[in-house]
Structure formats: C-alpha cells, structure tokens
Amino acid sequence: MASQEEHWVAGARRGDRDAFRRLVEAHARGLFSLCVRITHDAALAEDAVQEALFNAYRHLGDFDGRSAFRTWLHRIAVNAALEQVRKRKGRESVASDVEDDADGEDFLLAHAEGGPGPDQHARGGEIRRHIEDHLGRMTLLERTAFVLRHAEGQSLEDISSALSINISACKQAIFRAVRKLRVALQPLR
C-alpha cells in the first residue's frame, strides 16, 4: 500500500500544487533545522530551504524513488545550504586532509544522559550552546558531515553522496568533528 507521501509525490509530479504544498508542509521544518545547523544563520537557512524546495519542484520528474523522498529532498537542501555558505564566505574548501580512518561512536547519543531534571536541563542548554559555538568553528565539510550523521541519522553512503566525497573522506570529516567536540566539551565534564 502506498503511503500518503507517495500519493503527494505522484500528485505533485502531475502538477498538483496542493500535493506539493502538502509535501512542503511535511518537510519544511526539518529542512530548516538541517539548513540552520549547516549554515549557522537563520536567514541563510531560509534562503537554502526556499532554493531547495524550488529545485525539488523543478526536478520532481528526476525523483526515481530509489531512495526515500525525504532523503532526496534532504540531499537537495544540503546542497542549497552549502551553496548559501559558499556565497557568503567565498570559496571555503570542502576538501580536507585524510586522517585516521574512523567513524567514531554516535557522539550525541554517547553524551546523552537519562531523564533530565531541572539542573540537567540548564546544563544541557549550556552544553548545547557550547556545541553550536564549536560547530560554527569547524570547516564546512566537518560541520555538515557531523550534522547529517549525528543529528539527522543519515548513512555514510547518503552523506558521501550528498557531499560528493568518498566514504573514507566522509568518515574522516565526521571523526575530526567528533574529536574537536570532545576536546571542546572536556572542560564541561
């Protein structure tokens, strides 16, 4: 049985604007969250989401269903967010030196604790601000790979494809990001 989203995609491909609007409503918040994590700027994230949705609409005929619609749409959004950052900062290189081949553990899950009390909520806010600050200091590649892996839960294959890098380089970017955050969070332990 086809899902509601599959019906919306099929309708949107036939030119049904209401079906596309439903897809936008279903995914816009998640796309914005993803883009703001990559760009570290709400205005750039909004621009990236608009560009991604426009490109998705224009290229719905290219969606072949081999991946989930969400995955396809997120790949477009990642590219739009990266382009917004490049436009703002000029040409920040997404290429990097390859280091130790390690994916690292799931960093966010490893640092999560049990049910939070009020003091843990306050501490969590401090840690979250610290993480956001240090994510902003990473290279664009490290930040994007980390967000896609640990915040979005995407596979290495999907991240590699979205960033147009091989899996080894993808693992290295994630590893470097995790290592940098571990060092940054050490004083908070």
What domains are defined for the chain?
Answer: 4-89 (1.10.1740.10), 107-188 (1.10.10.10)
SS3 162: helix
- Per-residue pLDDT band at 113 (split at 50, 70, 90): very low
For residue 141, pLDDT beyond 60: yes
Q: Decide: 33 and 70 in contact? Cβ < 8 Å.
A: no
Question: What's the average model confidence in pLDDT over 5-9?
Answer: 90
Question: What is the Cα–Cα distance from 116 to 153, expressed in whole angstroms?
Answer: 22
Average pLDDT, the chain: 80
Residue 102 pLDDT: 41
pLDDT of residue 28: 93
Cβ proximity of 102 and 175 under 8 Å? yes
Q: Which of 33-37, 55-59, 65-69, 121-125 has the lowest mean pLDDT?
A: 121-125
Alpha-carbon distance 69 to 139, whole Å? 28
Q: What is the Cα–Cα distance from 166 to 4, expressed in whole angstroms?
A: 34
